[in-house]
Structure 1
Amino acid sequence: MEFVSMDLLNALVHTLDHVSKELQKVYGVRDELVKLRNIVSSIQGVLKDAQESEETRNSVKQQLNELREVAYLANDILDDVTTEQQRQQLIKFAAVRNFLDDVNPKRFFFKQDVYDRIQWIKTELDEIVKKCPLSTLTSHNGSQRTHISETTSLSPPCVLGREREKQEIKELLVPLSGQSDSTASVISICGMPGVGKTTLAQQLFDDETVKKHFELRLWVYVSNDFDLMRIMRCMIESIDRFKCDLASLNNLQQEIRKKVSGRRYLLVLDDVGQESREWERLKNCLYSADEGSKILVTTKNEQVAAFMAANSPPVLYRLEGLAMEDCWSLICQPALSRNPSASFTLDFYRSHAVNRCGGLPMAAKALGQRLAREADRNKWGAILTSQSWEFSGADSTSITEHLSLSYQYLPYYLKPCFSYLSIIPK
């Protein structure tokens, strides 16, 4: 009879002990998943409370970012488990699968991996809490916070301070009684991003006098890519009110010539980003239209405006920033809509807020809407003096700082949606 060495027995006992612990992990995965879901819910609650407070966000920004990373990793685990469950449901011979479920090596190692990842997340969370307790990440008056409805108004956008500009451009589009029609066929509204070019064009497009003067009114959003076929389809769809399926450039050109022939049109090309040789092809389709037809262009680039007005008297209308009084009104309208008595608090920061908006309607509206969502007037000062937004007026790309103000105060559950949509081309 062969004797088993003590070393071998010790190794066997150690191995069995290790296997026993690993099996406990596997059988305990379900309980760990329940704990993980609770962790995710708690983190989301913390992030929701913390994002309401400017002071909290600045003081513990690193901890909040780490919490978000933990939440993402936790959601990855839950997604993996859900996917594995769905995969198992597709496997035939369910009875055999259930019987052999935990002795299947792949299934065993999957559960072990899930368990280990959950433990790692719990360790990471403990480290974050040691550096900064969760209680300091939440709003101190979160339980008393007043809920503000964030519904979108269906009324037309508020436009202030553009009456003179609207009238001047309108006279170029529609001649006054007794005057001859303007010889300019292309009129460009030029200005930096956020100054209100598209809004002004919309006002003109929807003006009752303009509607009566032009038999056809067409609106096309262009952007940086001057896609001639897409633009032509949009024009045809604006006239016919149903989808255009024409796939040939020649057919599109013929169709547009036929649609505009003998008719006076107003074509708005919104946000034209760059020069394109395709512009001449588009113009060639429009010569059959009635005299007095107009093309209204909005662009931030004066070179684009000059290029599109070539071979015709160029009319470039430079749109400047709003007057301080109008800019202030745009801030006050949403901010005081639910709380008119807060005007005294707002007046204290008037000069500071208006100067930082730089005369941009988009910035003023974003600031006013942010204040409207904050029920606690004591926090308005922190918002109005925040270093997270300021406009110098010299660089047109700085408008992104105003857009970031709107993003910064989005509800926590909408921020990932917004970030995801940002990767989709215009």
Structure 2
Amino acid sequence: MELASAALGSLLPKLATLLSEEYKLQKRVRGEIRFLQAEMESMQAALEAASNLPAHQIDKLGKIWVRDLKELCYDIEDSVDTFMVRLDTPATAKPHSSIRFLERAIELVTKARTRHHIADDIQQIKKRIQDVADRRDKYKFKDVVAAHPDSTAIDPRLPALYKDAAKLVGIDGPVEKLTNLLTQGEDVQKRQLMVVSIVGVGGLGKTTVANSVYQGLKGKFECHAFVSVSLRPDLKKILRSILRNVSGMECGNMEAWSLPDLINQIRGILDKKRYIIVIDDVWDESSWTTTIKYALVDNNLGSRVIVTTRNSNVAKVACSPIDGAMYELEPLSFENSKKLFCKRIFKDKQEIHSELEEISTKILKKCGGLPLAIITISSMLARLPNKTKYEWHRVYTSMGSGLEKDKSLENMQEILSLSYGDLPSYLKPCLLYLSMFPEDWKIRVDTLVQMWVAEGLVDEKGGENPYELGKGYFNELVNRSMIMPAHLDELGRPGACRVHDMILDLLISLSAQENFVTISQGLHLTPQACKIRRLSLQQKIQKHEDEDDQRVMLAVDVDMSHVRSLIGCKIHFKNLVLPLSMFSVLRVLSLEEFSSKRCHLKGLGSLKHLRFLSLGGEVETELLEEIGKLQLLRTLDLREASIDEVPASIIQLTKLEHLYVWRWAKLPDGIGNLRSLRELSWLDVDLSPKTLAKLGNLTELRVLSIDDLDESGLRTFVQMMPNLCNLRTLSIDFNMIDETSSLECMSNRWKGPARLQNFESILSTIPQLPQWFSSLSELSYLSIAVKRLTQDDLQLLGALPLLRFLRLRASFAGDTNECQFVIGSDQPFPSLDRFVFWQDDIFTVFAQGAMPKVQSLELDMPLRHFQVQETAVFRDIGLENLTSLKHVFIRLDCYNARNIREAEDVEVMIRDAISMHPSHPTLELMRLNKRWASEQQR
């Protein structure tokens, strides 16, 4: 239902655009488009009415109508896009005036013919719309909604409340941690109400863990309650359940009470009692913030509340501001997964027969530590009369395909489907798009968002930047536990993501039902019943080195003219020919994950709708020149392509916003023409010296990475930097002979972009900290190497209000061999989360009030700094003053230390400081240059 709504949402703005004066349509054609617009808006209203129904209450004919409407929207959008592309395509400029006149005449004739074609297309579309509209009236969705009130279904999570904890595996750790967390406040100082949230993906065992904690603790409280909220909560029913549990009474007229009445009754009972309440399965913030939390009284009696949820935003909102905590439940380890698996199948026996070892490992990997999946599959295997490798492999295959008709599998899918059903309509197509990628695939976040935008899955109206909006979509899917972040950077931001195997199976199943994605296990495609909209090639094809150099062509017997996305993953071959001219409406083409000697992109320039292009492997240079014909291209990713030079034709791509090339590829002259460019990575100044001077034209740049910047290049860069006022991220690697003289201009005269958020230059050393850093009020990430550091420099950095990560490599600026710096309340680093300090001749002491939020500290310090000169006294660095510390990593440089005893004494001092720290952070110690002076003198 939501996919059809999304298709309509993408189409309607384009119909409105067609009616603008820009396209100069005939009066009759404009009237026809208004008719299409009105009909589609009417169908959108019908879809909104039908969306109120649970999916199981829409009959087969209704589902067919929704499917046909979605397909119709796709086809209309393809026609409209094709029409717009033909009218928007400019003629190629020629120097001779007579040639320009002739081309202009041809262009006018072509556009007139195009306007005539759109009139013919509209007539055909009208017939299809009329058919769909007639069936809409026939089904009368509004009547269906009225006639089928939502029925009460059995909660599929109910068994979790009644599982015997003794039969479960891997919950002892979480139960113990949560129990300790909930009971630690039983002293006089911590009697406030504590709310602890348990968060994690569906099927992870949140309800089971919460219930085990609840059963173990409820005897210590005067009253208690365990209530489930569910996807579409009846808040009155929830409050009535709490009231019955905490009061032990049944009021006859309770059904008629209002929400305020129920809240007041509950508060009156809880006011003087110590209570524990579990609020299980909270789906949205509003249920908690508008109703449930007001029923809970903070009576200073040490009461406790446990909230379980799949949504991290809900978990954060529910946590009490004092002593509250958010507990992220982790999947079971492989060892515990195997124990649970064996316990369900073999009862007391913990060993798997050697014949079944390999297939059981595959099954457990597929389950990914999800207790629900392990219990479901192992229960199926336990019921099999014959425990053979063949039977187990059949069950393993059914986990993804749904071929095995088993009630437990259906229940598992229903539980996982609840999270999908709770998604807003704009997120569902974005999530289903992830079914394009194979299991365990690491997907770059930026790449995924750019694909969404290219496909039209992100709403671009309203003036908000679609990429920022798309990243918001991504974050929301992470918060709802639908996708898992991977490759976290120093600020905890995910650079990539992956999908749990069981969630991916659900997405593949839903995508197949909706004809959203077609997955091909190989290069030969067979005819499909439906039009292919998105195609994913995933099969591994092995090629031996001794085979000839024969080309492999994508073999198709089906129509590819409706494919919007083509992604190739895990395809191995020697040569591949892709007849791209068949993909006439392709918007996304990603072949970067191909393992190929050569890739022959036949007809690349014909892809007039292409907005995203990512290539890898060895690509034919002459075909790359066709990239200049892709006038709608927004993203060009050549990071994985084996090319030495980027084709000169890219300077014609005036709508290009993201350009990624590998670090040592030469860029063409004329990059300054790409005035829409938002990201450029990398620019090697030594290979592309003329490009640097034109960067000032790229006023929309947000992200810039520069390599091999020499003294001359730096001066050029400094001059045009004021134009790059929108820059947010800057990475520079210098190529300097005389750092002190050549980088003075950076230190003294350079004015950095005022809105810079990330700056990195750790591979090159600058002579001193630039004073203009003090103006970077939005800077959150800084990684820099400074030749001469002063106490004033630390004062400058400590005053940056939003700095969260600082990696600093520095030496002392004074005349003595070493110096002591003090970081205290006068340079507090108010927002810093992580501090990495590589210091040579500097001894750093943390005074009271320093870095109040820093959780991770990494120091690289010479061992000799800890010892007061010529004495046996060791200096303290003040770790106890970093009150929020969670992890400390110290590398001790033992160069010139007299013996191993000195290193051991310093390590004991550090360990003692950590053991006495109020936050009890973890500690890692490492010794470097472990050759003692006493040994060197021998």
Instruction: Give TM-score, length-normalised by structure 1.
Output: 0.52
Native 8 Å contact 1:190 1:317 kept in 2: yes
Distance 1:304 1:293, change over 3 A: same
Amino acid at match of 1:333: K
Question: Aligned residue for 1:315?
Answer: 325
Question: Aligned residue for 1:275?
Answer: 285
1:224 aligns with 2:231: yes
Equivalent residues in 2 for 1:253-292 (5 A)? 253-276=263-286, 279-287=289-297, 289-292=299-302
Distance 1:302 1:177, change over 3 A: closer
Native 8 Å contact 2:381 2:392 kept in 1: no
How many equivalent residue pairs?
A: 251
Question: Aligned residue for 1:170?
Answer: 179
Shift of the alpha carbon at 1:324?
Answer: 0.3
Please state whether the residue corresponding to 1:377 is helix, strand or coil.
coil
Question: Aligned residue for 1:238?
Answer: 245
The whole-number CA distance in structure 2 between the counterparts of 1:329 and 1:265 is 35
Equivalent residues in 2 for 1:26-37 (5 A)? none
Shift of the alpha carbon at 1:341?
Answer: 8.9
Equivalent residues in 2 for 1:60-209 (5 A)? 156-157=164-165, 158-175=167-184, 180-181=189-190, 185-207=194-216
Native 8 Å contact 2:193 2:298 kept in 1: no
Amino acid at match of 2:180: E
Amino acid at match of 2:382: A
Percent identity over paired residues: 26
Cα distance per residue 1:64-117 (max 9 Å; x no partner): xxxxx9xxxxxxxxxxxxxxxxxxxxxxxxxxxxxxxxxxxxxxxxxxxxxxxx
- The structure 2 residue matched to 1:293, chosen from 303, 326, 339, is 303
Native 8 Å contact 1:322 1:361 kept in 2: yes
Amino acid at match of 1:214: F
Deviates most, 322-331 or 156-165: 156-165
Shift of the alpha carbon at 1:317?
Answer: 0.6
Distance 1:254 1:383, change over 3 A: same
Q: More helix per residue: 1 or 2?
A: 1
Please state whether the residue corresponding to 2:400 is helix, strand or coil.
coil
1:360 aligns with 2:370: yes
Shift of the alpha carbon at 1:404?
Answer: 12
Distance 1:397 1:374, change over 3 A: closer
Question: Aligned residue for 1:251?
Answer: 261
Shift of the alpha carbon at 1:296?
Answer: 0.5
Distance 1:357 1:306, change over 3 A: same
Please state whether the residue corresponding to 1:238 is helix, strand or coil.
helix
Native 8 Å contact 1:270 1:297 kept in 2: yes
Q: More strand per residue: 1 or 2?
A: 2
Shift of the alpha carbon at 1:388?
Answer: 3.7
Cα distance per residue 1:36-62 (max 9 Å; x no partner): xxxxxxxxxxxxxxxxxxxxxxxxxxx
Distance 1:160 1:172, change over 3 A: same
Deviates most, 188-197 or 157-166: 157-166
Gapped runs of 5+ residues in structure 2? 1-59, 61-161, 402-438, 441-483, 485-497, 510-938
Question: Aligned residue for 2:221?
Answer: 214
Cα distance per residue 1:188-208 (max 9 Å; x no partner): 00111111111100110111x
Higher RCO, 1 vs 2 (CA within 8 Å, ≥6 residues apart):
1
Native 8 Å contact 1:193 1:399 kept in 2: no
Question: Aligned residue for 2:400?
Answer: 389
Shift of the alpha carbon at 1:277?
Answer: 6.0
Please state whether the residue corresponding to 1:292 is helix, strand or coil.
coil
Shift of the alpha carbon at 1:383?
Answer: 3.1
Amino acid at match of 1:156: D
Distance 1:180 1:169, change over 3 A: farther
Native 8 Å contact 1:187 1:314 kept in 2: yes
Gapped runs of 5+ residues in structure 1? 1-68, 70-153, 406-426
Cα distance per residue 1:137-188 (max 9 Å; x no partner): xxxxxxxxxxxxxxxxx86152211222211111121128868537562110
Please state whether the residue corresponding to 1:223 is helix, strand or coil.
coil
The whole-number CA distance in structure 2 between the counterparts of 1:166 and 1:340 is 23
RMSD between aligned residues? 3.5
The whole-number CA distance in structure 1 between the counterparts of 2:373 and 2:315 is 25
Question: Aligned residue for 2:892?
Answer: none
Amino acid at match of 1:223: S
1:332 aligns with 2:303: no
Native 8 Å contact 1:366 1:403 kept in 2: no
Instruction: Give TM-score, length-normalised by structure 2.
Output: 0.25
Native 8 Å contact 1:336 1:343 kept in 2: no
Shift of the alpha carbon at 1:323?
Answer: 0.5
Shift of the alpha carbon at 1:396?
Answer: 5.9
Please state whether the residue corresponding to 1:225 is helix, strand or coil.
coil
Distance 1:388 1:281, change over 3 A: closer
Native 8 Å contact 1:161 1:326 kept in 2: yes
Cα distance per residue 1:363-415 (max 9 Å; x no partner): 1111110101101122433235415439757336944958999xxxxxxxxxx
Native 8 Å contact 2:225 2:245 kept in 1: yes
Shift of the alpha carbon at 1:272?
Answer: 0.4
Please state whether the residue corresponding to 2:281 is helix, strand or coil.
strand
Cα distance per residue 1:305-338 (max 9 Å; x no partner): 1122365454111111100011011111121139
Distance 1:223 1:177, change over 3 A: closer
The whole-number CA distance in structure 1 between the counterparts of 2:212 and 2:380 is 25
The whole-number CA distance in structure 2 between the counterparts of 1:403 and 1:365 is 21
Amino acid at match of 2:329: L
The whole-number CA distance in structure 2 between the counterparts of 1:374 and 1:171 is 41
Structure 1 stretches of 4+ with a deviation exceeding 6 A read 176-179, 338-342, 402-405
Please state whether the residue corresponding to 1:271 is helix, strand or coil.
strand
